Structure 1
Amino acid sequence: MDLKELKKLAETLDDNSKRELIYFLQSRTKGMSAQVRAIDEIQEQKHKDGLVCPHCTAHAVVRFGKYTVQTRAGVVKRQRYRCKSCLQTFYDLTNTPLQRTRRPHLWVRFIEFMIEGYSLRKCAAELLGEVTHVTLFYWRHKILAALKQIPTEAFQGIVEMDETYFLFSEKGKRSIVERKPRKRGGKSKLRGISNDQVCVLVARDRQKMTYSGVLGRGRIKTTKLDEAIGGHLSDSNVLCTDSWRAFSSYANSKGLAHYRFKSDGKQRVKGVYHIQNVNSYHSRLKKWMDRFNGVATKYLQHYLAWFRYIDSKEYENTSSNKKNMLVKSCLFTVEDTNKKLRLSAYSC
């Protein structure tokens, strides 16, 4: 079949099939995929302050030739480095989610699916069976292990702070001792807030700088508040919270101006002070999390980091957002292996 016949055949395809064909050709063509350009940017960002050994953090690093890797997209040449201090060799993707990957041509498209919030099985189907959903599970959590390391900058001005709760889950565990397994998330047998609930704190200023973190099981405590966001607040901040006493105790101990809003909803706004932004963030977070039918608590911080990132990008699945997400995930050290991720446990 010659090129003209292929073009005529391509014209008969629907839009989805044409898109699949485009991705297939891009992944099989050297030097044309967005992933290659992303790797160039990863190299530039990682070495902007000079070469650093990922094993011992020494700066006595020299280039140590190149080596080739056989991938599904073809042969790829990668620069190798050697540390004069520890004598170990490494390359640009050492201790990143892309380390040892044999399918670099699929990562940008997988990032696209993560922004869209696809399930792992749907991702595997869209990638035409080149990788299984089990492999994609580890890809996902290696990326999220990096994204959760993105620091929260100091808050400015008014800071809205409120907690929300997720059901404690041991999803994926083969033997659960404390209770019977639930199906599709399930419900707690206890009323109100108990140790069956996991507390998630969200703090957000009016410039949309956001902190979200798991604080433990049960009600929020003042000591946990200081550990979580104490380094992000200053005397110039004004706290807006609900009426839970832990927030009042914390604000008084730190000498912060504090506005409280009761849960009865009679007074939602006091001038420019309210907690509507953080409550809106809670609503979007809960709605987004529903698609997973319950998340294992040991991975909950990963999902919070995932949502924080896509919410800051306004859920836009653009080329710049895809590349930025991939580059960001490779700028932080990720040493989690598949086995370590699988055997991890909730520790709070």
Structure 2
Amino acid sequence: METKRFGRWLRQLSLLTRRQRLQLMDALRPAVGLDQVCEAIACAAPDPCCPSCQARRSYRHGHSRGLQRYRCRACGRTFTALSGTPLSRLRHRAKWLGYLGNMLDAKSVRTSAKALEVHRNTSFRWRHRFLALVKHDRPERLAGIAEADELFLLESQKGSRKLDRPARRRGGVAATRGISREHVCVLVARDRTGGTHDFITGRGALTRDQLHRHLLPVLDPDVLLVTDGHPAYRCFTREAGISHEFVNLRAGERVRGAVHVQNVNAYHRRFRQWLARFHGVASRYLPNYLGWQWALDGARIATPERFLRCAIGVFNT
């Protein structure tokens, strides 16, 4: 619209009725939402690299759906800040910040879909696309005093077309008592500064080989690892040359000076309470939900804009 015509139109806004002003606000809301998303993406990635050849030699080449488009000088391909990210090709960008606000409130798929007026399948797809990179926003190493303990959840094949076991009702219990192959083991390691790593080690009890595979790469060589009395930890730390202390929970020992696992156990409790609101989560999606809880724990991600930055892989850790 020309500047003069826009000025005349703007001066007539005072003549609108209340109903007309509400209609105007509703009509402008999608455009305003799209502008906010595009601005957040542009601020998060001011100089994106080419997703094809990883070169940073590019120049501006028009716009694509509100985002600056670039052409790579090395390979000639065009791209935007979202190219090569999990958010590429997702539609309804104007509603992304509203949806991320619902994720910060841990709303369900259907509740979020109803609030944003999108299909429930779209809501489900957005949830896991937004979490695809957020779950990797972790500290490089755990240092000082680090606690490790396992969390066991009943294995769920929700959504699978073929089951490798007899079907059971949602919210059921295992066929046998104790830890068995019907449970998924989640190993959580957490240092005293709040840095956290978690791993899905597989079904059944934790083993020494799983500790070498998952836990050893994220531990600082000078760390003091505190665990319960599980023999796998003692064997692992002896072979890896890591300082180790443990508390004998079976004997009723909970704290011995600075030696305890209450920090990681409190994290377990918060995760279980938070996960219960979703009424059953497929085990194959557990890494995403663990990353989601880690993002929310301690209000590490407090705004939809920050959530969006992490969703495209821009971390400030």
TM-score for both structures, normalised by structure 1? 0.79
| Aligned AA (1:238) | L
| Aligned AA (1:330) | I
Look up the match of 1:27: 29
Partner residue of 1:150 out of 134, 137, 156: 137
Distance, in Å, in 2 between the alignment partners of 1:252 and 1:275 is 19
Look up the match of 2:70: 81
| Aligned AA (1:164) | L
Look up the match of 1:124: 113
Is residue 115 from structure 1 mapped to residue 104 from structure 2 by the alignment?
A: yes
How big is the shift at 1:143?
0.9
Look up the match of 2:170: 184
Give runs of aligned pairs for residues 182-261 of structure 1, distance below 5 A. Answer: 182-261=168-247
Contact in 2 for aligned 1:54/1:94 (Cα 8 Å): yes
Q: Secondary structure at the match of 2:249?
A: coil
| Aligned AA (1:152) | P
Distance, in Å, in 2 between the alignment partners of 1:25 and 1:255 is 64
How big is the shift at 1:26?
6.3
Change in Cα spacing, 1:182 to 1:251, as seen in structure 2 (3 Å) is same
Contact in 1 for aligned 2:48/2:81 (Cα 8 Å): no
How big is the shift at 1:221?
1.4
Give runs of aligned pairs for residues 301-340 of structure 1, distance below 5 A. Answer: 301-313=287-299, 318=302, 321-331=303-313
Q: Secondary structure at the match of 1:164?
A: strand
Q: Secondary structure at the match of 1:124?
A: helix
Partner residue of 2:274 out of 283, 288, 309: 288
Q: Which has the larger radius of gyration?
A: 2
- Please identify runs of 4+ aligned residues in structure 1 that moved more than 3 A: 2-7, 21-26, 35-39
Distance, in Å, in 2 between the alignment partners of 1:252 and 1:158 is 17
Structure 1 stretches lacking a partner, 5+ long: 11-20, 70-76, 333-348
More moved, 276-285 vs 245-254: 245-254
How big is the shift at 1:24?
4.8
Contact in 1 for aligned 2:148/2:187 (Cα 8 Å): yes
Cα RMSD (Å): 2.5
Q: Secondary structure at the match of 1:270?
A: coil
Distance, in Å, in 2 between the alignment partners of 1:24 and 1:140 is 25
Contact in 2 for aligned 1:52/1:59 (Cα 8 Å): yes
How big is the shift at 1:117?
1.2
More moved, 272-281 vs 81-90: 81-90
Distance, in Å, in 2 between the alignment partners of 1:24 and 1:136 is 22
Look up the match of 1:336: none
Look up the match of 1:135: 122
Q: Secondary structure at the match of 2:158?
A: coil
How big is the shift at 1:3?
4.1
TM-score for both structures, normalised by structure 2? 0.86
Distance, in Å, in 2 between the alignment partners of 1:191 and 1:22 is 62
Distance, in Å, in 2 between the alignment partners of 1:307 and 1:22 is 38
Contact in 2 for aligned 1:98/1:104 (Cα 8 Å): no
Aligned length: 300
Distance, in Å, in 2 between the alignment partners of 1:305 and 1:51 is 25
Distance, in Å, in 2 between the alignment partners of 1:122 and 1:22 is 26
Q: Secondary structure at the match of 1:327?
A: helix
How big is the shift at 1:144?
1.0
